[in-house]
Structure 1
Amino acid sequence: MSEIVGVVGAGTMGLGIAQCLADGGYDVVVVDPAAGSAAGVAGALARLRTGLRQARLLAPHRVREPVDRVIGRISWTDRVAGLDRAGYVIECAPERIPLKERIFGELDAVCPPRAVLASITSAIPIDLLAANTRRPDRVIGTHFMNPAPLKDTVEVVRAPRTSAETLQRTLDLLAAIGKTGIVVADGPGFVINRVLMLTVNEAAEVVGQGTADAATVDRVFQDCLGHAMGPLRTADLIGLDTVVDTLLVLLECTGDPRFRPGRTLLELVRAGRCGSKTGSGFHQYPRPAAIS
């Protein structure tokens, strides 16, 4: 691949997307404040190497090249200015509106005019982010699922000003890394999280009120509706802190009180029980993953 792709953020999702891109043959530049130190880069590389090995064990049909060759396609920088040659950039910062708005303004200032600026936001309207740039036609949403290396489908969000060319470039990039994009229109939460976050919030309250424990709630969804995991294991995988952040964005953007995080979710997050990445959430996890 000749195009350089930038990834802003080296949390779990950012590294997962960088892994997908490099595995698909792209040269990737990851922006991470920790990249200013050798220890920071070493830590990210170790997590990336672990992710690649796990993906090869869990999904051997996706294996393309040796791990070291894939890692060799990824470079690191601690500044957004390091994306001055990127043709496509995927922003993977935490779900905070002011933070993402600032990043999009910075990206617009340093990236080439033709570069597409994409966001993995799970709830923030894409047109709100595009308003911080001089290229709203080149701004789009790419809502990857977690874990990105193991999920084949991406919710692609076309804002009112997103051009047909930007949409096609996005779908082509996803296809090149073995993923399918499902295109939806812009709006708070898009499709998945407009529905899922309400479900998680209510499922948490069912647990909090003693109607059923977390395992039973998930089993009802799995056995009665055919869900792969159930809403509470899904929430644990996403990260309960991220779920709360997403609900707060939806509350702000819609004004709908149904999106106000319930007591049960808030208590778990305050206790540091944020899901699989911390070792416990609604369920217990014997081997915690690294915290993003």
Structure 2
Amino acid sequence: MVRSRVRSASCSWVVLLLVFGVSLVSSAAEPVEARHPLRPIERLLVELASPDFAVRVAAEQELVAHGEPAIEPLANVMDEKYPEVTARALAAMTEIAWAARDDDRWDIVDKVMTLLEDAGKTDDPLVAMMAQGRLDEQEPLDEKRMVAKVRELGAIVEMIEDKTPDANGNRQNAAQIQHVFLGHRWKGGEEGLRYIGRLAPFQTLYFTKNAKVSEQALLKLRQSRPQMTLQRRGPTKLGVSADPFAGVCRVGEVTPDSPADRAGIRSGDVITSFNGQEITTLQSLVLAIEDVIPGDKVDVMIQRGFTDVELDVTMRRWGE
């Protein structure tokens, strides 16, 4: 049985519903349960444009009852020339996705999300607006599932504990994404970037030339996530952060169990030399690290207070 849900809608969506008379529920429509077996999808798609309101409503409900087999045919009938057909197709796809969530069929949810994202980028402005409206209504996808999906495609996702107090002053201690790294193990290609776009907001997306993803595709992803920065890196990781605008390379945070941590680099240290190259800024350190391969042992000179300290660092690949 088709489950109805109450959802908030944008003002533009409400206007569309009023203009085109789209209603997802009608007492005049014949119950879906009364139709056994379900009629062919092709016939139901035609009935979405029927002059009879009850027929249109019944066709939409029966398409939802078809489930996954109806998803792509529904996506193919969206056209700005037929706004009500488009609205009903989008509504049916969304209902199928909701039912799939309840059944833990995330493959179906992913298919609907992908088609909605594609429709949101179409050259038809009305279709794009309506599809984006449906995307905006969707609840955030299960974060653990999306992180697992991105990792399955070869990305490195590093998490940190969010200790921000809640409204009652209690620490939440919830894990959140700090950054994502795309290196030689990334097998998602440019198409897989859509899954990164579905993650909760995070600070930085690092990438190497071995990720085989064009900077143009990354910049396109960046446009949809204005809070995210893009940074190119070499194949190895030192494991420190620093202020990119400071006049020196002063270490901010040191990633636990990173090469820097194992070598004894601390927060507040100023890195002055890396592998024989003078370091004056974070960017100069990044460029020096690009020449190093995993397993290399490098000399790192730091200033700690008024003392110069020389450390041996064994570099490791990202994610190791």
Q: Normalising by structure 1, report the TM-score.
A: 0.27
Q: Normalising by structure 2, report the TM-score.
A: 0.26
Taking CA–CA contacts closer than 8 Å with sequence separation of 6 or more, which of the two structures ends up with the larger relative contact order?
Answer: 1
Which is higher, the Rg of structure 1 or of structure 2?
2
In terms of fraction of residues, the more strand-rich structure is 2
